[in-house]
Chain A
Amino acid sequence: MKLPTLREVGTEARLLLIGIPVFLWTMIPIYHMFLFAISPKEDAFSGKLWPDHPTLHNFEIVFKQQHYFLRDFYIQFWNSTVIAVSVGVLTLFIATAAAFSISRLRVPGGRVVMNLALFTYFIPAAFLAVPMYRTMGNYGLLNNHWSLILAMVTIASPYAIWVLKQASDKLPVELDEAAVMDGATTLQIFRLVYLPLMMPSLVAIGTYAVLLAWNEYLYAFLLLSNDREITLPVALGNFLAADDSPWELLMTTGFIYALPPAAIYYAFRRYMVGGLTAGAVKS
């Protein structure tokens, strides 16, 4: 092995000079959250970089629901899960059907619907939240999980349809023609030809919708308010209502809440990077 030249050492040093600040910048807020989760209250508030007595006691309090703010932890976790999964399933169903209809069946007016969907995609979410809140009130759905599920499906569908349409357009028309020759009905083509070929994009879109719903704060806090109906992020926000909030428990709950989406993200990263980022912005 030959020794590195002075120039190579210089390049490497310059790269490290960028890499170390990037690492610190990325990790500090997350490490800070983790630090609080494993610290007793006194250590957490003393600004130490590592607690004198690291402990899992905070997790025990959360899992045993032993605090006023945590008394509905499990039901809130369950609410978050049910809502995220429902949004994923409904979005997949609606978007796949729409993309198949627009891209493969070339339904009359499909292009117009695609453009309307894209337009919705560009309405800033916080702007749509204002009339959406009132609409859900008019429909009598406030404080009902369906209000959040339907709102999130509305927000997730446009991008889902767009990505799935892009992916469908790439499938050769000959496949459909051959299937029609063999006497396949439209539904058979959808089930036996289209869905299997679209699988990678469907995984990406399903993950996208689930994460979007799991992470949503604004809509959840507007549409749900009852302690036993709210999702975890709203419960986290409610910690701030008190002046002497138990921050170590807030951070512990936040850490638990952040784990599933991070795990899902890394598990499906292959699909996410290929299916979503490439489609997100076409140059």
Chain B
Amino acid sequence: MAITLSGDQAMPGPPLSSRLTPAQVWGIILLAPYLLVFLAFVVYPVGYGLWLARAPANYVALYNDPIFARAAVNTLIFLVIGINIKMLIALFLSGFFAQQRTWIKWLSVIFILPWAVPSIPTILSVRFMLNPEWGMINHFIFSFTGDDGPNWLNDPTVALTMAIAVHIWKSLPFWTLILITGRLAISHDLFEAAEVDGASWWQKFRYITWPSMQTLYITCTLLSMIWTLGDFNSVYLLTGGGPADLTHVLATLGIRYLRLDQLSLAMASIVCAMPFVLPLVYFMMKRLSR
């Protein structure tokens, strides 16, 4: 399939159309709609955005903006701690859902709900549950202890933790589903043999499950990190970046600058994330474009 025509296009010869077969002409026509979309809505915006972010003054302004530093740290916490916790739970639950039980089959159908429903109403639902005066959680705390519960979303650490929890709630089913597929692909004979040899639960995981799933697991973790960088909803709809702009992540910060009409700052903050994003993207592309 390595017969690329790009090489001989450079050579002088008869006009292009007469050297292409009808099938190739159709190929170009059918590819054209996507190419148009790509040029108009990816190449042009990205190029234009980079051009806006070219002035070094933008980066000085970002460096001097404490909200930017805070957002960068929050993003790292979100990715490094949040995603790893999520993937560990997903790995654990994939083992649970791989059990052959009727009730577990039914539970897995319910378990997918957070992924199947849109995030806006459910995140807002959580937001109200955490309301210090009227929310259900503080009502419970009050009726059990007689004390007022904490003002959940008013403390930056707690608020960010809650945003991570919401993110986990929403995307855990998807990753669990993928890890279940990976787990079910392991030959059952291996486990039976291990059973006969008297292997413990941990030994079975360590020597059978993990070796066959580690590539999938690491790929999933990296992919989830890339996508989570773009997770605007979990933070914006729960905390709105507050209190005092202390819970922003890069995804919401870019939009904040945009709303303040500081487009070049917004682009510059995204450019700053690229040294972390591009290696991940490069790795993923190598894996998927085979």
- Chain A residues close to B by CB (< 8 Å): 15, 18-19, 22-23, 25-30, 32-33, 36, 45-47, 93-95, 97-98, 100-102, 105-111, 113-120, 122-135, 138-139, 150-151, 153-154, 157, 161-162, 185-187, 190, 214-215, 217-218, 222, 233, 236-237, 240, 247, 250-251, 253-255, 257-258, 261-262, 265-266, 269, 273, 277-278, 280-283
Task: List the B side residues contacting A126 at CB < 8 Å.
Answer: 229-232, 250-252, 254-255
- Chain A residue, CB-CB nearest to B227: A124
Task: List the B side residues contacting A119 at CB < 8 Å.
Answer: 281, 285
Contact A101 B27, beta carbon cutoff 8 Å: yes
| Distance to closest chain B CB from A167 (angstroms) | 15
Task: List the A side residues contacting B207 at CB < 8 Å.
Answer: none
Contact A29 B126, beta carbon cutoff 8 Å: yes
Contact B231 A113, beta carbon cutoff 8 Å: no
Contact A29 B24, beta carbon cutoff 8 Å: no
| Distance to closest chain B CB from A49 (angstroms) | 8
The CA-CA distance from A151 to B41 in the complex, in Å, is: 7
- Chain B residues close to A by CB (< 8 Å): 1, 3-6, 9, 22-24, 26-28, 30-31, 33-35, 37-38, 40-42, 44-46, 48-49, 52, 93, 96, 99, 101, 103-104, 107, 109-122, 124-126, 128-129, 134-136, 138-140, 143, 169, 173-174, 177-178, 181-182, 185, 213, 215-216, 219-220, 223, 226-227, 229-233, 236-237, 250-252, 254-255, 257-258, 263, 266-267, 270, 273, 277, 280-281, 284-285, 287-290
The CA-CA distance from A92 to B5 in the complex, in Å, is: 28
Pick from A30, A111, A139, A222: contact of B117, CB below 8 A.
A30
Contact A283 B121, beta carbon cutoff 8 Å: no
The CA-CA distance from A134 to B52 in the complex, in Å, is: 11
A-B contact pairs, 23 of them (CB 8 A): A15-B101, A29-B126, A30-B113, A36-B128, A101-B28, A106-B1, A107-B30, A113-B34, A118-B285, A122-B284, A124-B227, A126-B229, A126-B231, A126-B251, A126-B254, A130-B255, A130-B270, A139-B40, A222-B255, A222-B258, A261-B118, A280-B178, A283-B216
Report if A122-B226 is in contact (Cβ < 8 Å); known contacts: A15-B99, A29-B169, A236-B120. yes
| Distance to closest chain B CB from A122 (angstroms) | 4
- Chain A residue, CB-CB nearest to B142: A47
Contact A110 B27, beta carbon cutoff 8 Å: yes
Most buried by B among A46, A95, A254: A254
Contact B110 A27, beta carbon cutoff 8 Å: yes
| Distance to closest chain A CB from B182 (angstroms) | 6
The CA-CA distance from A105 to B32 in the complex, in Å, is: 14
- Chain A residue, CB-CB nearest to B32: A97
Give the top 10 A-B pairs by smallest Cβ distance, nearest first: A254-B121, A47-B139, A124-B230, A107-B27, A131-B49, A126-B251, A105-B27, A131-B45, A108-B5, A265-B116
Contact B118 A214, beta carbon cutoff 8 Å: yes
In the complex, besides A126-B230, A131-B48, A154-B41, 14 extra interface pairs with C-beta distance below 8 angstroms are A22-B93, A30-B113, A30-B122, A32-B128, A98-B31, A98-B34, A108-B9, A108-B24, A123-B42, A126-B255, A129-B255, A257-B118, A258-B118, A277-B178
Contact A106 B124, beta carbon cutoff 8 Å: no
The CA-CA distance from A17 to B46 in the complex, in Å, is: 49
The CA-CA distance from A134 to B135 in the complex, in Å, is: 39
Contact A122 B281, beta carbon cutoff 8 Å: yes
| Distance to closest chain A CB from B125 (angstroms) | 4
